[in-house]
Structure 1
Amino acid sequence: MKDTLYTIPLTDAFKAEDECPFCFIYRNLEQDAISFTLGASYMEDDIREKTDALGFCKEHYKKLYDYGNRLGLAFILQTHYVALQKTLKSTLSHTRAQNLSLLQKLKKGAKVQSASTHTPATQKLNDTLSSCYVCSRIDYNFDRYIKTFFYLLTTNEEFKTLFINSKGFCLPHFTKLLEEAPYHLKEKDQTFFLEESQKKLQESLARIEEDLSWFIDKYDYRNSAAPWKNAKDAIPRGIQKLSGIYVQDEPFKETK
């Protein structure tokens, strides 16, 4: 366990009193990954080999574009195009028209299609579309933070107090932690985590719903002189709690 590498940022995330400490962690990891991708690393052969093979998801293409290093992004895109053409050429050359049965055509709307409709070409294209160098870099480090969270929760009383006094987690990260808890916690510790995290989720949903209600009521002229209380940022906090994103953030840009 690399205490200083993961525990300090995780502790800082809980001290930030965010709606979800793991949203705070994810945003930092994402910004670090974007900076790394478009920093000096894009000229390194081993990094370029990975970006050529994986490409990026549509969300991170947009964020890489917003970052501002257009020359660096052009280099990355150009060599990715070269690699993609090479890998697809042989695969696509073997693609043939398929003669589907009536039953297969009727099943087109079903969630699980017949395996015969998945050709090497479509599989390769789907793999290309679903891979992302930035996502893979974030996921690797994010998993380490989850392991560190459970480790600290059971070994560090100060951190356990931070968790107890926190606002809980957003729904996506709450779900992720529920899935991971059995792999990292003993039954007694799981029980504590489940009870405490569920209580915090219910409390935070009720709190944000109340803030949203007051935000709406503030638009009634009879409440125009009344204080905003905690409702001014109820919309972005409400969206974050549901989806794990910061809608109010400006695009992350390169600092020169």
Structure 2
Amino acid sequence: MKDKLYTIPLTEAFQAEDECPFCYIERKLEQDALNFTLGSSSSYMESDIREQTDEMGFCKEHFKKMYKYGNSLGNALILQTHFRKQNKELTKQLQAFKPEKSSMFGKFKKTKEDGFDKISQWIAQSKETCFVCDHIKNDYDRYLDTFFYLFKSNPEFKELVKHSKGFCIHHFGELTNLVSAKLNDAQAEEYAKLIFPLMIENMNRLEEDINWLVDKYDYRNANADWKNSKDALQRGMQKIKGGYPADTDYQQNR
């Protein structure tokens, strides 16, 4: 199969023999996003990047991963200006607060937005954006498009998919949700004929591994071979929800 630059990461993910190629891609994209945000390129020193991080901020999960990644100075510089902006916005919201007097019935049934609502809505909106999440999503969506492009146009890619371990349920859902928009009726039928049996086969395979992992704790199987069950716990968790529960913290290369 002849790869183009934009198809290489996707084909590499399928060749990795992972429980889910899109988990593999998502992890790589997240690592790339952390490297871009805090790594040796020092993007956080660029004024346009700092404007974006100040505006978008970070979700709780990625704040934690940024801390674990390392680079205390880079984190501090990013936090310094983002914190300043958040503090300024919070002060503005609180100083603009005007309590609304409500009737006895109004306490039970709100008919309009009050000052408390405005503050809580501002806080809720500030939690909806994350620079790292956004960085990942932009590239991830392109890989979803690339999957369907190759599925429609490249028989070798379909063979690669056929001999993969399928997908985690989360990413299988994402792909299947796009079928109607990305494929015509004949292609959608082909997708179902290829992917659905692949999912059943690999879910059954993994269920057998998990069953044997449990059976290995029976004293009667103490000397029996582990077969493929030693890492069945983390692979099973991944297959159900996605991600890599056994991963260690991703850290900056020094």
Asked whether the two chains share a fold, i.e. TM above 0.5, the reply is yes
The equivalent of 1:77 in structure 2 is 79
Shift of 1:101: 7.2
**Matching of residues 130-141 of structure 1 within 5 Å:** 130-141=128-139
What do residues 171-200 of structure 1 show as CA deviations (whole Å, max 9, x unaligned)?
A: 111111111222211111112113322222
- The alignment of Structure 1 onto Structure 2 pairs a total of residues equal to 249
The equivalent of 1:88 in structure 2 is 90
Distance in 2 separating the partners of 1:114 and 1:230: 60
Unpaired runs of at least 5, structure 2: none
SS at match of 1:253: coil
The equivalent of 2:113 in structure 1 is 116
| Alpha-carbon spacing, 1:225–1:71, altered in 2? closer, same or farther (3 Å) | same
Distance in 2 separating the partners of 1:167 and 1:100: 60
Is contact 1:13-1:25 (8 Å) kept? Answer: yes
Shift of 1:134: 0.3
Give 1:143's match in structure 2, choosing from 138, 141, 144.
141
Distance in 2 separating the partners of 1:20 and 1:252: 20
Which residue identity is paired with 1:224?
A
Shift of 1:123: 1.7
Which residue identity is paired with 1:9?
P
What do residues 179-234 of structure 1 show as CA deviations (whole Å, max 9, x unaligned)?
A: 12222111111121133222222222221111111001001111111111111110
Which residue identity is paired with 2:31?
Q
Shift of 1:120: 2.7
Is contact 1:69-1:254 (8 Å) kept? Answer: yes
TM-score (norm 2): 0.91
The equivalent of 2:224 in structure 1 is 226
Which residue identity is paired with 2:90?
L
Is contact 1:33-1:137 (8 Å) kept? Answer: yes
SS at match of 1:12: helix
What do residues 56-113 of structure 1 show as CA deviations (whole Å, max 9, x unaligned)?
A: 1111111101111111000000110111122233223223345567788668xxxxx9
Distance in 2 separating the partners of 1:202 and 1:115: 51
The equivalent of 1:12 in structure 2 is 12
Is contact 1:14-1:21 (8 Å) kept? Answer: yes
TM-score (norm 1): 0.90
The equivalent of 1:53 in structure 2 is 55
The equivalent of 2:201 in structure 1 is 203
SS at match of 1:247: coil
The equivalent of 1:110 in structure 2 is none
* Bigger helix share: 1
Distance in 1 separating the partners of 2:102 and 2:227: 62
Distance in 2 separating the partners of 1:104 and 1:20: 52
The equivalent of 2:124 in structure 1 is 126
Shift of 1:242: 1.0
Is contact 1:167-1:204 (8 Å) kept? Answer: yes
Distance in 1 separating the partners of 2:199 and 2:112: 41
Unpaired runs of at least 5, structure 1: 108-112
Give 2:242's match in structure 1, choosing from 241, 244, 247.
244
Shift of 1:114: 7.7
Is contact 1:167-1:200 (8 Å) kept? Answer: yes
| Alpha-carbon spacing, 1:103–1:241, altered in 2? closer, same or farther (3 Å) | farther
The equivalent of 1:21 in structure 2 is 21
Percent identity between the aligned chains? 48
Which residue identity is paired with 1:116?
E
User: Does residue 66 of structure 1 match 2:68?
Assistant: yes
